Amino acid sequence: MNFFQKIYQIYYKPKIFYPRRTYSLLGEDTIINNFFKKDNGIYVDIGCYHPLQGNNTHLLYRRGWKGVNIDINSLSVELFKIKRPDDINLRVAVSDKSEKINYYFRKKINMLNTINKNFASKNFPNGFKKDKIQSETLNNILQKTKYKNSKLDLINIDVEGNEFKVLKKFNFKKYLPTIICIEIHHMSKKQLKRDKIYSLLIRKNYALIYQNKYAFIFKQNKI
């Protein structure tokens, strides 16, 4: 893919040329953007997908924020390298182990590409392909960046059925993220309190401050 084809992929809908109030699918980026008053924060976007479309960190990036963008789609990472060259843009799977694993995809860039085979089977009923990718814990990934000793302002997690494994071994005490935005699917209010992602974040001293369908935002309680 040449430079111009990559540019087209970034701006693949004409309306994206015009500034918008929200770039998220469910408007969660406006909640996050309004929460933070500073213009020099740090985000980590896991399952970043696209630098504009369906993105939860673009509004912060426009304000001068920087951070780490991670995806299993090679094209996604290339687009971030063009659009956000000052960020750290990585192609790796984030999980609870360091190992080579399968990832499942329908095309080179897709919101639903995943390392969770059950999720792929459910969401790609017409079939999918698979390949190998390296997985790492979020701790190991951050340790190799300039943010290895930084407090994080935002962690955004959208990894299609693998969200709990991202958090399972994450060092909350070291990185102290202020806000965690995460997807939790197919959850009634009664089921939510028994959900392992919700339960983990409550144990880690976070409170739910926003929910819209499957988009959840948790805020760190003051210690």
Task: Calculate what percentage of the chain has a pLDDT beyond 70.
Answer: 90
Q: For residues 19-31, give the mean pLDDT.
A: 91
The pLDDT of residue 123? 84
The pLDDT of residue 14? 46
Task: Calculate what percentage of the chain has a pLDDT beyond 90.
Answer: 73
Q: For residues 46-69, give the mean pLDDT.
A: 96
Top pLDDT among 166 and 6 is at 166
User: Backbone phi, then psi, for 58, in 5-degree steps?
Assistant: -65, -40
The pLDDT of residue 13? 52
Among candidate residues 21, 52, 74, 41, the one with its CA nearest the CA of residue 176: 41
Cα distance between residue 9 and residue 217, in whole Å: 29
CATH class of 3-91+138-220: alpha beta
Q: For residues 73-85, give the mean pLDDT.
A: 93
The pLDDT of residue 11? 52
Q: For residues 33-42, give the mean pLDDT.
A: 96
> CB atoms < 10 A from the CB of 140, how many?
14
Q: Which of 169-178, 185-194, 196-205 shows the lowest per-residue confidence on average (mean pLDDT)? A: 185-194
User: By three-state DSSP, how is residue 122 classified?
Assistant: helix
Domain assignments of the chain as residue spans, ordered by start: 3-91+138-220
Q: Residue 24 pLDDT more than 60?
A: yes
Q: Residue 1 pLDDT more than 80?
A: no
Instruction: Say what the pTM is.
Output: 0.89
The pLDDT of residue 189? 73
State the pairing for strand pair 129-136/215-220. unpaired
Top pLDDT among 125 and 69 is at 69
Cα distance between residue 141 and residue 42, in whole Å: 15
